[in-house]
Amino acid sequence: MTGFNFSDVNLAVTTPFNAQGKIDYSRFELLIERYVAAGVHGFVLSSGTGMHVYLSKEESKELVAFGAKVINGRARVIAQTSALMADEVVERTRHARDCGADGVMVLPPFFEGPTDDQGIIDFYATVSEAGLPVIGYNVPQVVGVKVTPSLFQQLSQIPNFVSVKDSSGDLTDQAALVRTGLPTLNGADPLTPFALFAGAAGLIWGGANMAPKACVDLANAAALKQWENVRAIWQSLAPVMSLIWQGDYVQSVYAGAEIMGYGAGNPRRPLARLAAEKLGPLRDALAPLIEYEAAASS
């Protein structure tokens, strides 16, 4: 395993689309600038929250190239390069490397791919040959592959394999990954402060699109072990981070970011905008953060 350099908040940034459903690069640049100004430590481009599975390979590669150019070393860049075929993952990863990305996030083989440990190890060993730090992605409820502590330890023997993002939403399982002593990234929004207290090495955080300043402040306080400050900030974040995890995650993040002034428009089809009856509860959950973000700007 090579060195780990992905601590603090890595924003799984939304991808904006125009009225015709095409990527809106002007709006994307404005969003990046605002998130950089908020102190975001890193960006995940073509993330799940950024509609990775609904971008073509060409769109994803163009998005990574554009985003990396705009960020221009002011924050770290992680590109999601997941695909069904290993050769395509390698191609996308090499492209991300050439664009200056600091690392890639890659789902294990999915849709009837191998589920045995050796098959997963062989897959990531192939990806690692592209020459960038690789972050595995543990989301067993979607992919059907679970990264156990034993598998994590075996994956860590692969050159360039640096971490696992755990989006299982199970704190017990994540704590078991943390106890390996290997750097684990939390990807489950409602677990954020608990994961950091347990020893998670950093965050890949989609919900941070809605309130980047509060999220960065929380991560910075945790890094200083200022747990009373973490708890105070989390009181404002907890209602919305719990709500969006209950369903319609991507649609909720897009809608919430719009409410908070970090709008990326609507998600791309086949996802629709968040249902009207769910906007009221979302606004209520965001109310403490509107005050927090406004105070942080003053």
Catalytic (active site) residue 22: no
Per-residue pLDDT for 23 more than 90? Answer: yes
Which pLDDT does position 296 carry in this prediction? 65
- Residue 2: band (very low, low, confident or very high) from pLDDT cuts 50, 70, 90: low
pLDDT in tens, 4-22: 999 999 999 999 999 899 9
pLDDT in tens, 114-128: 889 999 999 999 999
Catalytic residue among 35, 61, 124, 137: 137
Catalytic (active site) residue 165: yes
pLDDT in tens, 50-80: 999 999 999 999 999 999 999 999 999 999 9
In this structure, how many other beta carbons lie within 10 angstroms of the beta carbon of residue 290?
15
Catalytic residue among 35, 165, 262, 292: 165
Q: What percent of the chain has pLDDT over 70?
A: 98
- Please report how many Cα atoms fall inside a 13 Å half-sphere around the Cα of residue 223, on the Cβ side: 14
Per-residue pLDDT for 297 more than 80? Answer: no
In the block, residue with structure tokens 């009221």: 280
What domains sit in the chain, N to C, each tagged with a CATH number?
Answer: 9-297 (3.20.20.70)
Whole-angstrom CA distances from 150 to 153, 156, 177, 224, 250 are 5, 10, 9, 30, 31
Per-residue pLDDT for 143 more than 90? Answer: no
Which pLDDT does position 285 carry in this prediction? 98
CA-angle at 2, arms to 60 and 212, nearest 5°: 50
Which pLDDT does position 114 carry in this prediction? 80
Per-residue pLDDT for 241 more than 90? Answer: yes
CB 37 within 8 A of CB 71: no
Strand partners for 185: 165, 202
Q: What percent of the chain has pLDDT over 90?
A: 91
List the beta strands (DSSP E) in 154-290.
Answer: 161-166, 184-186, 202-205
At 275, which amino acid appears? A
pLDDT in tens, 149-193: 999 999 999 999 999 999 999 999 999 999 999 999 999 999 999
Which pLDDT does position 99 carry in this prediction? 98
At 28, which amino acid appears? F
Per-residue pLDDT for 1 more than 80? Answer: no
**DSSP structure class, residue 143:** H
